[in-house]
Structure 1
């Protein structure tokens, strides 16, 4: 399939785009925020954050899509990332493409995650032709679970899993899995 590379997506309030060098500082700040990282293994120091940004950029350069940097259309301010990624571990539901997001705390509560993730899901189904998109998080991450539900994703507790990258006994090892099948026709997901 042919599409412009790298892909840029726009919603009424957001731009999902390739990463810029100027994103490194605000990205490091959100990765160092204990509240932003509360449902992930640990906050990241600047070096780890920069390395993660480098891996994200490389995936977008390779594929044309991935974890896009998200900015406010009104100001150009970087607020985090949202997008699609191939799962990189083995589980009962893999191989799969997941939709995910990580936004700075100041961007919470505005519907940005749902808006951006809806655009990413629409791209995944309409442009990439994916049959299904998944998302997962720890059971206690209620805000992210609410975004998944607003996207129309469904959760079957029988599919919950232990994340293979976390050791047995780790407080965040258990994950809930949400799925969304490509719609046959009809309205697009919210924000798409």
Structure 2
């Protein structure tokens, strides 16, 4: 019997299940957010309080927009590995307001293609189920791993910009933006 028999997934990819957040995710997600290697391209690791606020924001986005950065599990085991999903972004930039696709996985889940697989499935969900017309992805230019995922899922580079939320972090402030339009999606 697998660990996901009672989990109500919103949708699946081949190996991953995407679902709404629960309070049961907080401890494991706080551990992911406290890992300095996972948070290498963020100003600092998140505290438990910041993690709780992040999850609450995702729950609100799900109610408001019908999507969020989804809690993500490995289907075979039911193991929670972090998030992959969509989030409304309205900070000031040439690319916003927009829907962003993003991912944050625990280090043990890296290098197995989960971010790429999950991001492709979330693009499909966003375009085909939600009816979005455009999705962006943003990361600091130094975050080559995330930029590589953006390329693997077929996004096109739209430019660079200085992220207003990172102005106090000169090593992270310069960000790249990739995008995907629904009329070009081949998923």
TM-score (structure 2 length as normaliser): 0.90
* Residue in 2 that maps onto 1:59: 61
Change (3 A) 1:164 1:14: same
Q: Which runs of 5+ in 1 are unaligned?
A: 1-5
CA offset digits 1:62-104 (Å, max 9, x no partner)? 3331111000101111100111111120111212111001000
RMSD: 1.7
Q: Which residue of 1 is the match for residue 112 of structure 2?
A: 110
Are 1:96 and 2:118 counterparts? Answer: no
Higher mean Cα deviation, 47-56 or 37-46? Answer: 47-56
Distance 1:138 1:184, change over 3 A: closer
Structure 1 segments (4+ residues) deviating >3 Å: none
Q: Secondary structure at the match of 1:134?
A: strand
How far apart, in 1, do the equivalents of 2:131 and 2:86 lie? 13
Q: Is the 8 A contact 1:7 1:65 kept in 2?
A: no
Q: Is residue 7–residue 64 contact of structure 1 (8 Å, CA) maintained in 2?
A: no
Give the superposition deviation at 1:129: 2.0
Which residue number in structure 1 is paired with residue 3 of structure 2?
none
Match of residue 171 from structure 1: 171
Q: Structure 1 residues 179 and 24, CA, compared in 2 at 3 Å: closer, same or farther?
A: same
